[in-house]
Structure 1
Amino acid sequence: MMPTLFVTDWSGKEHVVEGRAGTSVMESIRSAGIDDLAAICGGCCSCATCHVYVDAEWLAKLPEQEEDEYELVSDTSVYKETSRLSCQLPVSDALDGLRLTIAPEDG
């Protein structure tokens, strides 16, 4: 069974996305054809264009945020306490049902 991710885009539409173990949440969102997630650096944790807001109840289930990810995401004008970079979230069965919203563009 593949984990199901619920992704809300900029227009407020919720997409049901099948996650693939061994990939990142970012890759699953891009594979689903959701263009609001730019992911310009391709998952190298260097651009913050895969910024998402994770529903609060999921935060404790995610891997701890590394310092470089925190610095990138917290420097954006749209930062929230639930902000993460989707390239830094590996898809696993533990994330089945994960709900997140694509953050608006910075600036």
Structure 2
Amino acid sequence: MEDVTIYITDRDGVKHKVEAPTDMAMNLMEVVRSYELAPEGTIGVCGGMAMCASCQCYVENNVELNPMEDDEDAMLAEAFNVKENSRLSCQIPITESLQNLEITLAPEY
């Protein structure tokens, strides 16, 4: 499989169906940026280093994700609008297991 379908609800509540390549070593934040689903400069401010939480999202369905690492857990402990289903999209690599993943972008502030 080369692409997976992901459903992303932007900060305005609009749901987008996107195709994400599994063969380009991308992460979920990069997919959001490539489809311009958040205003430039409002997502992935730290460049995907798990240091700012600007790419926080809420995982809305039961899809197998990679385990959360310590850096991501620590950043979410300091972030705003954190929920039990929060993840940093920069820490979620695009893999075949993300087929039909549904996420909602967390509020900017």
TM-score under structure 1 normalisation? Answer: 0.90
What corresponds to 2:51 in structure 1? 46
Counterpart CA distance in 2 for 1:47 and 1:18 is 26
The answer (yes or no) to whether the contact 1:17–1:29 under 8 Å persists in 2 is no
What corresponds to 1:8 in structure 2? 9
Unaligned runs of 5+ in 1: none
Higher helix share: 1
Counterpart CA distance in 2 for 1:77 and 1:50 is 12
Instruction: Report the AA paired with residue 100 of structure 1.
Output: I
Instruction: Report the AA paired with residue 102 of structure 2.
Output: R
Counterpart CA distance in 2 for 1:51 and 1:19 is 18
Give, in angstroms, the shift of residue 56 of structure 1. Answer: 4.2
Instruction: Report the AA paired with residue 99 of structure 2.
Output: D
The answer (yes or no) to whether the contact 1:56–1:82 under 8 Å persists in 2 is no
- Give the number of equivalent residue pairs: 104
What corresponds to 1:63 in structure 2? 66
The answer (yes or no) to whether the contact 2:29–2:43 under 8 Å persists in 1 is no
Give, in angstroms, the shift of residue 18 of structure 1. Answer: 1.2
Q: Once the two structures are superposed, what CA deviation does each residue of 1:40-95 show, in whole Å capped at 9, x if it has no partner?
A: 0111111110000001422xx11110111011112122000100000000001110
Instruction: Report the AA paired with residue 43 of structure 1.
Output: G
Unaligned runs of 5+ in 2: none
Match of 2:86 among 83, 86, 92: 83
The answer (yes or no) to whether the contact 1:45–1:68 under 8 Å persists in 2 is yes
Q: Once the two structures are superposed, what CA deviation does each residue of 1:25-44 show, in whole Å capped at 9, x if it has no partner?
A: 11111101112551101111
TM-score under structure 2 normalisation? Answer: 0.88
Instruction: Report the AA paired with residue 99 of structure 1.
Output: E
Give structure 1 regions of 4+ aligned residues with deviation exceeding 2 angstroms. Answer: none
